[in-house]
């Protein structure tokens, strides 16, 4: 992609600490935008050691659900970008509080949002009033939406019309979106498997999905 696109490398907590240290060092010459979730949250105490092996920004937080979960990583000084998910971390109010805490520690915010238009619209509201917002994740046109697009749920999908990686701030009341309720009712008639996929390694052991 040349110099026009920044690339974040998501470890998704799938590798142990010793391998994470080697990987962040090996990736450094390629100047990734950030390295995401090098270890799972239960191993956040390892983040300072991992960060010591690279100058690449470290991001984490999609599986952290309150200000108190984030307090530890702020105080460790090991994380440069936090990624709270509004659908899991208490919604607009709690994530705005988390973002304000992050600002005090000079930590950027990139809200996690691989979900639908309501979650994305909520994130955008937090982004707009958080000066330390770095980037907003979204899943429009992503591979796992091949059979249907999340914008199908909106009466006016143009509210998320991206140009050069940006959207205009919605100006309509509330979250700035209108739900197509008929589409929601239609989709509700279909059964959905909400379970996470289960991945296995070659030896049959269960892997972090």
Multiple choice CATH, 61-207, 3.30.470.20, 3.20.20.120, 1.10.10.10, 2.60.120.10? 3.20.20.120
Where do the domains of the chain lie?
Answer: 61-207
Tokens of 17: 């600490």
Please count the CA atoms within 13 angstroms of the CA of 124 that sit on its side-chain side: 21
**Global pTM value:** 0.90
Catalytic residue among 12, 43, 53, 88: 12
The answer to whether residue 200 is catalytic is no
Residues 6 or more apart from 71 whose CB is under 8 A from it?
Answer: 101
- List the pLDDT tens digit at each of the 209 positions of the chain: 788 889 999 999 988 999 999 999 999 999 999 999 999 999 999 999 999 999 999 999 999 999 999 999 999 999 999 999 999 999 999 999 999 999 999 999 999 998 888 999 999 999 999 999 999 998 877 766 655 567 888 999 888 888 888 999 988 999 999 999 998 899 888 887 777 788 888 999 887 77
Catalytic residue among 43, 53, 88, 112: 112
Q: Which of 52, 55, 51 is nearest to 38 (CA)?
A: 51
The answer to whether residue 112 is catalytic is yes
Question: DSSP string covering 155-195, please?
Answer: S-GGGG--BTTB-PPP-SSTTS--B-HHHHHHHHTS----S
Between β-strands 206-207 and 199-200, what pairing exists: parallel, antiparallel or unpaired?
antiparallel
């Amino acid at each position: 992609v040349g110099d026009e696109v920044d690339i974040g490398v998501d470890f998704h907590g799938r590798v142990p600490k010793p391998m994470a240290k080697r990987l962040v060092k090996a990736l450094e010459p390629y100047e990734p935008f950030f390295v995401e979730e090098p270890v799972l949250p239960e191993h956040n105490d390892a983040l300072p050691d991992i960060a010591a092996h690279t100058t690449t920004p470290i991001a984490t937080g999609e599986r952290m659900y309150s200000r108190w979960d984030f307090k530890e990583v702020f105080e460790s000084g090991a994380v440069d970008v936090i990624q709270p998910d509004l659908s899991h971390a208490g919604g607009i109010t709690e994530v705005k509080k988390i973002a304000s805490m992050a600002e005090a520690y000079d930590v950027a915010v990139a809200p996690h949002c691989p979900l639908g238009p309501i979650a994305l619209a909520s994130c955008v509201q937090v982004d707009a009033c958080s000066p330390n917002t770095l980037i907003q994740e979204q899943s429009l046109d992503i591979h796992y939406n091949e059979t249907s697009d999340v914008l199908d749920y909106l009466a006016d999908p143009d509210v998320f019309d991206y140009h050069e990686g940006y959207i205009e701030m919605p100006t309509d009341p509330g979250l700035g979106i209108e739900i197509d309720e008929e589409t929601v009712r239609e989709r509700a008639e279909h059964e959905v498997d909400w379970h996470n996929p289960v991945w296995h390694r070659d030896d049959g052991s269960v892997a972090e999905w």
